[in-house]
Structure 1
Amino acid sequence: MEHPPGDSDWLVRPGATLRRLMGLWRPRGRAASLLNRLLAGMTLSCIAFLVLCVALKLIADPPQELEQIALCSLVATIGVGFFVKAALFMAQGGTLRHTVGLLADARLHFSRGDNELTRRRYLKLSNNVHFYGQMVAVPAMIGWVVCPLLSRSVAKADQGLQEAQRQLPAPVWLPVDAYASPTYEILYVAQSFCVLVTAESCVSINLFFVHMMLMVAAELEVLNDNLSALENINLKTRRTEREGLISRYKINGRGLALLNGGQCLDEHALTENAAHEWLHRQLVKNVIHHQAIIRSVALLQSAMNVSIFILLFINMANLCSSLFVAAVLLQRDGNIGKAINALFSIPGLLYETTIYCIFAHIMSDQSERLMYSAFCCGWVNNDARFKRSLGIFMMMTVRPIAITVGKTCTLSKQMLLQVLNGTYGLLNMLYYMHRSK
C-alpha cells in the first residue's frame, strides 16, 4: 500500500513549515535532501553552541555561588535535552514517516461522514495547542534575549564598572575579554540567534508528537463510534421483517450494497445469513482499524522512547533549578535579569511536560472505552461466529493503549504528578544545601 506524501499530508500539520526550515523534517527529492542536511546541521550547531558556552564557563571559570552554579546547570541541561531530542527526531525520520502513513491510511479506509467531524475536532484542538505553545515559548525567548540589556540599564553601577556590568543571554568563558567590543556584540547576536533556533526547534518537535497522539486519539474515538453503531438486529425469515431490515440499511432501487463486498443483493435474496455476514464484516473492519492504530502507537512510542524519557527527568531538574535561582536572586536583591530569565523558563517547562502527559492520557482514555463500546453494540441476537469474534476483540482491548517511555514511565496524569513531586523534592534539597553553607 502506497502511503501519501508526508510533507503535504494533514497529519504533519501544524508546524510543518517550521520543521522543514530547521531541517527537522526531510522533504522528498535529492536536492531537497541535501538542503535539509545543511539546515539540520545548522540547527544542531546552534543548540551545541549554547551548551559549549556554558560548559566552558563551568570548566574554566566555575562560579562560587550555588545559585550561579544552578543557573549554568539550567542552561546546560536544557541545551543537552534539546540537542538529544532534535538529533533523535532527525534519526527517527523514517519511523515517523511510517507512522504518518499508517494514520493517513486509517483515515482513508475507515471513514464515514460523521467520523470526519471527530477528526476535525481533534485537529482544531491540535492547532490550539500549537498556538498556546508559541504563546509560552515566545515570551521566554524574548526574556532570555532582552533581559540582560534591561538588567544592565537598571543596575546602579559606577561609570568605571560599566563594562563589567555587561551580560550575555547565556554564561560564557573565553580566553579573551568576552565583554569588550566588538566581541561582546558578536557573542550577543550569536547567542540570541541560537536561543531562537533552540526554542523553536523544541516547540516544533513537541507539537509534532502531541499532534500525533491527538490524531491517534481521534482514530480511537472513531473506532468507538463505529463499534457502538453495530446495531442489535433481531432477524427472522419472515418477509415483513426482511423488508424492515432492507429499509434499515438504505436500499437504492431494489438492491442492497454490502460494505467491503462490492456485490449487490436482490431484495428477495437477502437472508438471515447474509445480514449476519454483513455485520461480521463490519466487525472485522473495526478489528483491522484497531490493529492499524496499535501499529501506529508502537511506531510512535519507539520514536519517543529515549528522547521523551530524558526530557521528563531533565525538565524535573530544570524546574527545580529555575525556581531555586529565581527565589535566591530575588531574595538577595541580586541579578534581576538572571532571575527573570529563570522565571520565564518555568511556564515553558511546565507546558512542555504537561502536554505530553495530558494528551497521552486522553489517548489512553479513548482506548479504555473500546471494551465498553464493543459490549454496547448489538451482539445479543447475532450468530455464534459474531459473538466469538467480538469476545476475542474485547479480550485484546483489556489492556489500554498507552505511550511508555524508557520502558518504565507511562505518559499519564499520574506521571505528571510524579514529575512535580520530584521537582519539589529536589527544590527542598537545594534549599537545605543553600542554608547549610
Structure 2
Amino acid sequence: MEVKDSELLWPLSSVLGELRLLGLWVPPPGRRLRHRLALAFVMVSHIANLLGALACITMDAPSDLPQLSFIAYNCLTDAGLTCKMFSFSLDGQRLTELLRLLAASRQRFPDKAGHRARCQATAVKLRRFMQVTYRINTAYWLLAPIVRNIMAAISKNTSSISRDIPIPIWLPFDARSSPVYEILYSLELAFGFAISETTVLIDGSLIALILQVAAELAVLNDHLAAGVTPTLKQSPSGVTTTESIVQDSDVQVLPKSSPFLGDGSFYDFLRSRSSTVSEVEIYQQLIGNIQHHQTIISCVRLLRKVLSRATSVLLFCNTISICFQVIATAVLLQKDGDIAQTLKMLMGSSLYAYQVALFCLLGQRIINQSERLIRSAFSGDWPDGDVRCWRLVHMLCLSTSRALSLKICGIYTLSRMTLLQILNVSYSLLNFIYQTKAEQNVAEKAL
C-alpha cells in the first residue's frame, strides 16, 4: 500500500515538530536552509563540548585521580552523545521507510483492542519522565558553580568563591578573567541545554518506534487468534446460517492417506468441525496475516539498523560510566573528596542506567509478543479451511518459531537478560570497592 509523504507521522506526535525544527529528521524532499542551520548549531554544541573535554585531558591532565576521572567521564559521555546524534541524523532514509511501513500497517490492519493507542500513551509518559530527569540533571551540572558562589557569599566565606565553569575545558588563555569567563559560561549553558534536549528527543523517538513495533505484533496476535468473523444471513426457513461464497466443488479435499495429514484420525477431526466461515475467507485472512508479519519483519530489520549505532554507543558509554561510578563511590568514601563532582558523576551514571533499562525492557516486549505468534496462529480457525489454509498455517508456524529481537551490532540483544548482566557487573564492581575499602580500614586500625 502506497503511503503519501504527508501521512508520514511519528508515533509520538510531540517529537515531530522538534525533529523538523532541529533538522534531525525532515520528510521528503529533505532539509531546507533553516533545518540545516538548526542542525549545524546542534552539531557545533556536541563537537565543542567533545573537543573541549579532549583538550582538557590531553593538554592539561590533572594529577589528582578524582579530577582526572571526572574529566575522562565528561570526555566519554560527550563522545557517546555526539555519535548518537550524528548516527540518528544520518539515518533519515531508514527512518522514513520505517514510518512508511508503520503508516501502511495502520491503514490496512485495524486495531480493535487499542494496542497502538496504549503504546503511544506509554511513549508520551516515558518522554515526559526523561525530560524532567534530564533537565534536573542538566540544571545541576550547569548551575552548580553559581549556586555554590551564592551560598558562599551568603555565609560570607569569600575563600570558597571561585570562577569555575560547569564543564572543565582547556583554553590557551586565561578563562577566569572578565568578560571571557561570562562569555564562556553562557556558551556552555547554551550548548549544555541543547545537548540535553537533543538527547531526550532522540531517545524519546527511538522508544516510540520500539513501542509501535511491539504494538504491531500485538495487533497481529489478536488477528491470528480471532480468525475470521463469520458473515451471517437469514435462510428461507428463518434459521440463521453462515454465508458461503464458494461452491462445494471449489473446496480442496485430501484423501485420508495424505502424507500432509498423517493418519485418518486427525483428518476426521479436522473435517468433522462445523464450518462457520468459508474456506476462501479463512485463506484471505491468513494471507493478510502473513503479509502483516512480513511487514513487521521489515520494520524490525530497519529498527535494528537504526539502533545498531545509537544504542551500541549507549551501551558502551553505560559500561564505561559504571567504572567511573565505582571511582566516584570510592571518592565519596574519602573525607577530602569533591562532593559536587561526585554527585555529577552519580547523577549522570544513573541517567545512563535507566536509559539502558528502558531500551532493554522495551526490547523484551518485542520478544514476548513475537513468542506469542506461534500460539496465536495455531489457536485460530484454520481447521475450518481447506488444505491451502493448513499449509499457510504450517508455514506461518515455521516462520514464527524463532522470536524477533533487536540485536545490536550482532552482539547485544535488547532483553531482560542483557539488563541483568549489566546489573551484575555493576554490583560486582561496587562490592569489590566496598570490600577493598573495608580491608583498608581494618589495616589502618590494626596499625
Per the TM superposition, whether the score is higher than 0.5 is yes
Contact 1:326–1:339 (8 Å) recurs in 2:
yes
* Distance (whole Å) between structure 2 residues aligned to residue 430 and residue 51 of structure 1: 30
**More displaced stretch, 372-381 vs 190-199:** 372-381
- Equivalent residues, number: 408
Note if 1:375 corresponds to 2:372. no
* Distance (whole Å) between structure 1 residues aligned to residue 238 and residue 352 of structure 2: 62
* Corresponding residue for residue 218 of structure 1: 215
* Distance (whole Å) between structure 2 residues aligned to residue 322 and residue 136 of structure 1: 18
* Corresponding residue for residue 276 of structure 1: 279
* Distance (whole Å) between structure 1 residues aligned to residue 126 and residue 237 of structure 2: 53
* Corresponding residue for residue 172 of structure 1: 169
Report the Cα offset of residue 226 of structure 1: 0.4
Contact 1:297–1:403 (8 Å) recurs in 2:
yes
Within the candidate set 270, 294, 297, 2:297 is matched to: 294
* Corresponding residue for residue 189 of structure 1: 186
Report the Cα offset of residue 344 of structure 1: 2.5
Report the Cα offset of residue 141 of structure 1: 0.9
Aligned partner of residue 244 in structure 1, secondary structure: strand
Instruction: Identify if the C-alpha distance between structure 1 residues 316 and 411 changes in structure 2 by more than 3 Å, giving closer, same or farther.
Output: same
Report the Cα offset of residue 109 of structure 1: 0.8
Contact 1:56–1:172 (8 Å) recurs in 2:
yes
Note if 1:144 corresponds to 2:141. yes
* Corresponding residue for residue 24 of structure 1: 24
Post-superposition Cα deviations, 1:377-425, rounded to whole Å, max 9, x if no partner, equal 1233432221111011001001111100011111001111222233345
* Corresponding residue for residue 58 of structure 1: 57
Q: Partner amino acid for 2:16?
A: A
Contact 2:279–2:384 (8 Å) recurs in 1:
no
Instruction: Identify if the C-alpha distance between structure 1 residues 283 and 27 changes in structure 2 by more than 3 Å, giving closer, same or farther.
Output: closer
Note if 1:127 corresponds to 2:124. yes
Instruction: Identify if the C-alpha distance between structure 1 residues 373 and 160 changes in structure 2 by more than 3 Å, giving closer, same or farther.
Output: closer
Contact 1:67–1:329 (8 Å) recurs in 2:
no
Q: In percent, how many aligned pairs have the same letter?
A: 29
Contact 1:361–1:411 (8 Å) recurs in 2:
yes
Q: Give runs of aligned pairs for residues 194-209 of structure 1, distance below 5 A.
A: 194-209=191-206
Note if 1:80 corresponds to 2:83. no
Post-superposition Cα deviations, 1:1-28, rounded to whole Å, max 9, x if no partner, equal 5323368614253322222222211244
* Corresponding residue for residue 89 of structure 1: 88
Q: Partner amino acid for 1:320?
A: C
* Corresponding residue for residue 360 of structure 1: 363
Contact 2:8–2:99 (8 Å) recurs in 1:
no
Aligned partner of residue 14 in structure 1, secondary structure: helix
Note if 1:393 corresponds to 2:396. yes
The root-mean-square deviation of aligned C-alpha atoms, in Å, is 2.9
* Corresponding residue for residue 109 of structure 2: 110
**More displaced stretch, 183-192 vs 32-41:** 32-41
Contact 2:282–2:381 (8 Å) recurs in 1:
no
* Corresponding residue for residue 67 of structure 1: 66
Q: Partner amino acid for 2:207?
A: V
* Corresponding residue for residue 419 of structure 1: 422
Aligned partner of residue 125 in structure 1, secondary structure: helix
Aligned partner of residue 318 in structure 1, secondary structure: helix
* Distance (whole Å) between structure 2 residues aligned to residue 327 and residue 430 of structure 1: 7
Contact 2:228–2:285 (8 Å) recurs in 1:
no
* Corresponding residue for residue 260 of structure 1: none
Post-superposition Cα deviations, 1:133-180, rounded to whole Å, max 9, x if no partner, equal 112111111111111222334458964674xx2221101121211122
Post-superposition Cα deviations, 1:123-142, rounded to whole Å, max 9, x if no partner, equal 11111111111121111111
Aligned partner of residue 11 in structure 1, secondary structure: coil
* Corresponding residue for residue 11 of structure 1: 11
Report the Cα offset of residue 306 of structure 1: 2.1
TM-score relative to the length of structure 2: 0.83
* Distance (whole Å) between structure 2 residues aligned to residue 352 and residue 161 of structure 1: 36
Contact 1:330–1:339 (8 Å) recurs in 2:
no
Contact 1:220–1:366 (8 Å) recurs in 2:
yes
**More displaced stretch, 333-342 vs 178-187:** 333-342
Q: Give runs of aligned pairs for residues 190-339 of structure 1, distance below 5 A.
A: 190-230=187-227, 243-246=240-243, 273=251, 275-325=278-328, 328-329=331-332, 331-339=334-342
* Distance (whole Å) between structure 2 residues aligned to residue 3 and residue 196 of structure 1: 36
TM-score relative to the length of structure 1: 0.85
Contact 1:361–1:412 (8 Å) recurs in 2:
yes
Unaligned 5+ segments in structure 2 are: 252-276, 441-447
Instruction: Identify if the C-alpha distance between structure 1 residues 29 and 278 changes in structure 2 by more than 3 Å, giving closer, same or farther.
Output: closer
* Distance (whole Å) between structure 1 residues aligned to residue 178 and residue 435 of structure 2: 41
* Distance (whole Å) between structure 2 residues aligned to residue 322 and residue 240 of structure 1: 79
Contact 1:43–1:197 (8 Å) recurs in 2:
yes
Unaligned 5+ segments in structure 1 are: 247-255, 257-264
Q: Partner amino acid for 2:208?
A: H
* Distance (whole Å) between structure 2 residues aligned to residue 309 and residue 242 of structure 1: 63
Q: Partner amino acid for 1:372?
A: R
* Corresponding residue for residue 40 of structure 1: 39
Aligned partner of residue 2 in structure 2, secondary structure: coil
